Amino acid sequence: MSGVSISPQTLARTLGQDLEEVAQIGATGRGGISRFAWTDELAQAYAWVAGELEALGLVAGVDQAGNLIARWEVDGGDEGAVMAASHLDTVPNGGRFDGVLGVLGALEAVRILRRRGFEPARPIWIGSFMDEEGTRFGAALFGSRAFAGHDVSASLAATDAEGVTVSEAIAARGMDPARVGEAFVAPSLSAYLELHVEQGPVLDSAGERLGIVESITGVLGFHVIVRGEANHAGATPTDARRDALVGASKMVLALRERAREHSELRATVGRISTSPGAITVVPGECRFTVDLRPSQPEVVAPTIAWLRAMVAEVAASEGLEAEVVSDYELAPTMMDPRVVAALAAAAADEGVEPVRMWSGAGHDAMVIAPHAPTGMVFVPSVGGISHSPHEWTETADCELGARVLAGAIERLAG
């Protein structure tokens, strides 16, 4: 063990114990957990995890963007580090697994490797990224974006509900927001791994215990404006109406059918409004949002083209005008075949044939992937529930995920 003295008690700890203890930090009394960016609760969770990793012989610290990073250094090793990470912050009254399992599973993976007497040829880093959820400031993925060299200066000015800026919150923790750029070290990695609960029903409904992610969804955001003619609800005959809501409704149903017919796409209309919005007036205008989640890069352009054509066709058939406005476009992120293969081999060691799947939710991994070969492994969310006090993953599945993570790290860092 490279001369590191580790107590039997430290090596005997279990992932189940870790999950239970960390769940008490920020517990709300309503069954959930609230740990937000740059708060005492998140700092307490950091300190707990850092203490356990230091007991395993790693050197832990917090970088200038608020990311907790613990390093298992290698004498004379100048190869890129293998990193396993996720996040410890939560949504309001959230669950005990989302993000947290990725950090504590990485901690457990280090224990497993220590028990085996593994001697890495490359450094191993264990991390927790600051503010993945974006709950407090709306600055989601702040820590991983800084780690990957993104310009986060605009996020520093974001405010919470009390008007506190990110910069002020950083300063309140005794750090200098002007130094956030120093967190950019992602090119130092040779591989990045993330264990996560699925946050969806695919594995659980199929009775499967493990999934290997091959891509993380792209996110395409639009808003659609449909214009017709406002008119009297009683005096305007049905066949004389130019009802913007009727046209929008047909568009929403067309989106659902498109997603049903194409398994590589998910489509959601999350917000819709009409004008003038009176119960006695035929809607003259309707606006709605469109969230499209394609799993593969080659799906993006055809999907956008289809959306624009569909909206135009429906509008013409109803005697309406419509426009599609693009708000943002994030391409799907493909996982690295070498890292995927390492995870698959580690799963085979456990006698498990993993499901090959894509992630419909975003993760820190998609921010790191442009800089380092990246892979993700999923374990089931019972009932597909996440971002809720009711989210649950069986302890045995959590432990399986940690063992697969350890096996992949062993292959990539050995």
How would residue 330 be classed by pLDDT, with cut points 50, 70 and 90?
confident
How would residue 75 be classed by pLDDT, with cut points 50, 70 and 90?
confident
pLDDT in tens, 360-409: 999 999 999 999 999 999 999 999 999 999 999 999 999 999 999 999 99
pLDDT in tens, 159-206: 999 999 999 999 999 999 999 999 999 999 999 999 999 999 999 999
Residue 2 has pLDDT above 80, yes or no: no
Q: Is 202 exposed, middle or buried (0-12, 13-18, 19+ CB in 10 A)?
A: middle
Phi-psi region of 319 (alpha: psi -120 to 50; beta: other; left: phi over 0): left
Q: Domains of the chain, with CATH numbers?
A: 8-216+332-413 (3.40.630.10), 219-330 (3.30.70.360)
**DSSP symbol at 255:** H
Mean pLDDT of 282-303: 96
pLDDT in tens, 108-119: 999 999 999 999
Residue 1 has pLDDT above 50, yes or no: no
CB 352 within 8 A of CB 209: yes
Q: CA-CA distance, 326 to 346, in Å (whole number)? A: 41
Percent over 90 (pLDDT), the chain: 96
Q: CA-CA distance, 91 to 153, in Å (whole number)? A: 23
Residue 76 has pLDDT above 60, yes or no: yes
Residue 303 has pLDDT above 70, yes or no: yes
CB 294 within 8 A of CB 304: no
Percent over 70 (pLDDT), the chain: 99
Q: What is the pTM assigned to this prediction?
A: 0.90
Q: Parallel, antiparallel, or unpaired for β 265-268 and 285-294? A: antiparallel
